[in-house]
Amino acid sequence: MKDLPQSILFCCDYNAVRSPMAEGIMKQFYGTGTYVQSAGVRNDMEIDGFSIAVCKEIGVELSRHRSRSFDEMEKWGDDLSSFDLVVALSPASQRRALELTRFYHLDVEYWPIIDPTGLGETREAKLNSYRQSRDQIIQRLTEHWGDPRET
C-alpha cells in the first residue's frame, strides 16, 4: 500500500466522464489531505449526466464539476509541475501527460479504464457501462491506497 500523494491529477480525453469520476471519488474516499484535480486532453464537452448519476449512487457529487483541458489549466495558472502524480485514464491522456514530462518532472501512471460513452442501447444498459467504469476506478484507488472504509 502506497502513501497518498500530496497532489494528484487525473486525466482523460475530455474531462467529462472518467477523470471527473476519479477526482470526485478520490476526494470522497480520502478526504482533503491530498490536492486532487482533473483535466482532459480537449475540453469541448460538459460533464456527462451518466457520470453524475452513477457517482450520486455512491454519495459523490459531480454536478458542479466544470470540465477543463491541460491547456486551460496552464492558462489559469495551475502549475502542472506541482503535481506529485498524474494518472492517465485513456491512451490519449497518457500521451499528453508523457509529453509534459519533457518539461516537468512528473510521475505518470496509466490506468486503463473503459470509456463507457457509446456503450449500451437503453438507459439502464448505459448506466451499467458507467457503473463498470466507476467501479474500475474504485478498484484502482483501493489497490493503491487501501479501502478508506477500513481505516
Q: What is the three-class DSSP state of 89?
A: coil
Residues 25-43, mean pLDDT to the nearest whole number: 90
- pTM score: 0.92
Checking if the pLDDT of 49 tops 80, the result is yes
Strand partners, 85: 8, 107
**For residue 151, what pLDDT is reported?**
52
Q: Which domains does the chain have, with CATH numbers?
A: 7-150 (3.40.50.2300)
Q: What is the pLDDT of residues 96-143, one digit of tens each?
A: 888 887 877 778 999 999 999 989 999 999 999 999 999 999 999 999
For residue 56, how many C-alpha atoms fall within 13 Å in the half-sphere facing its CB? 11
Residues 46-57, mean pLDDT to the nearest whole number: 93
**What would the DSSP string read from start to end of 99-151?**
HHTTTS--EEEE------TT--SSHHHHHHHHHHHHHHHHHHHHHHH--GGG-
Checking if the pLDDT of 56 tops 90, the result is yes
Q: What is the pLDDT of residues 74-89, one digit of tens each?
A: 887 777 788 899 999 9
119 Cα distance to chain centroid: 19
